[in-house]
Amino acid sequence: MNILIFIRMVADVVEELKIADDFKSLDIDWIRFRLSETDEHAVEQAILLKEKYGGMVTVIALDAPEVDDALYNALAKGADRAIKICGDWMNFRSPGIAKLFSNYIKDENLLVTQTLIMSGSQAIDDLEGELIYYMGENLNIPTCGIVTSVNYRSDFNLINVYKEFAGGLRGEFEINLPAIIGIQAAEKPPRYIPIAKIRAIMKTAKIEEIDIPDDHISAGKEVNRLLEPEVSGRATMLEGSPDEITAKLIEILSEKAII
């Protein structure tokens, strides 16, 4: 199997987010970037598939702050190739990113019979929706998102996937390759790679940097404004020392007849 994973960097929401002076984007000097959480799971699932069925795993990313760390991390986990598409893509949204990735796949003739394209099911800044569906449409291949399990049947060149619905319910689907799937969660938690191993891979492996032709691809339409959420139903905040706070908590739990 030939696995291509497309990954994106997103703002780390554990940190405070700041809106830029144009009120249309985030202040990138302020935010910390991390690999999109579902992309991290896509990398893990790809490595699990490689370990189970063999094949080649290529990780491809658009240039972004801290993307090299994510690519080296994928190599340390077991990816065979890491490719960075150079350029300024910060304002690109799903439809534009899908065009860039799809054109790259077509130009490099990467879509062969045994190709499985993977990405995270969804990113936290996907205002225009899931990348995989735009890519599936561009490449005219079957697409399935919110996947939590993948098995490959080489005799029929197809994959069996589990897709999540609600309340723990899942559906099993059969998809012929080539196909694109969006991973919601890998079958196992993403593996931890010690820093020493990542440092070692940085010395031996190389991120391939490529430029792609400017096909006048649109980044996407502008949003009119970003804003902090209104805090209409804001909680009553319990303040004071831990001693005072826990005393108030006990009072509340007691009033509500919980204790």
Partner 1 sequence: MSKGILVLADHTKEVITDVSYEMLGIGRKLADSMNQPLYSLIIGDGAEKFASGFGIADKVFVVADKKIEIAIPELIVQILKKIVTENDISLILVAGTNISSGVGPLLAAKLDYRFIHFCKNLIYENGELMATSQLFGGKIFSETVLNDCKGIFSILPGSFPAEAGKASRFPEIIDIPHPDDGLKIKFKAFIEPEAGDVDVTKESILVSVGRGIGSSDNISIADELVEIIGGAVCASRPIIDQGWLPLSRQIGKSGMIVKPKLYMALGISGAPEHIEGMKDAELIIAVNKDSAAPIFNVAQYGICADIDDIVPMLIDKLKERK
| Residues 45-74, interacting with partner 1 (CB under 8 A) | none
CA dist., res. 190 & res. 207, Å (int): 21
- Report if residue 194 touches partner 1, rule: CB under 8 A: no
Distance CA 120, CA 110 (A): 19
**Piece of the chain touching partner 1 by CB under 8 A; list 56-64, 107-115, 155-163, 211-219:** 155-163
Specify the amino acid at residue 44: E
What three-state secondary structure class fits 96?
Answer: helix
Nearest to 152 by CA among 244, 51, 75, 221: 51
When asked if residue 33 is in the footprint of partner 1 (CB under 8 A), the reply is: no
Tokens 């045994």 correspond to 114
User: CB of residue 241 vs partner 1: minimum separation in angstroms?
Assistant: 9
Smallest gap, in angstroms, from Cβ of residue 27 to partner 1?
11
Give me the 222-251 binding string for partner 1, x by CB under 8 A, dash otherwise: -xxxxxxxxxxxxxxxx---xx-xxx-xx-
Question: Phi then psi for 85, rounded to 5 degrees?
Answer: -90, 110
Which residue type is seen at 246? T
CB atoms within 10 A of CB 173: 14
19, 26 contact by CB (below 8 A): yes
Stretch that binds partner 1, among 1-9, 112-120, 127-135, 207-215 (CB under 8 A): 127-135
DSSP result, 6-19: EE-EEE-TTS---B
- Selected from 34, 41, 50, 84, the binder of partner 1 by CB under 8 A is 41
27, 91, 171, 191: residue in contact with partner 1 (rule CB under 8 A): 171
How many residues touch partner 1 under the rule CB under 8 A: the total is 82
Report the nearest approach of partner 1 to the CB of residue 225 (Å).
5
Taking CB under 8 A as the binding criterion, the range among 6-14, 103-111, 112-120, 196-204 that sits at the site for partner 1 is 6-14
134: contact with partner 1 by CB under 8 A: yes
* Amino acid occupying residue 106: K
Residue 70: CB minimum distance to partner 1, A: 18
Interaction between residue 172 and partner 1 (CB under 8 A): yes
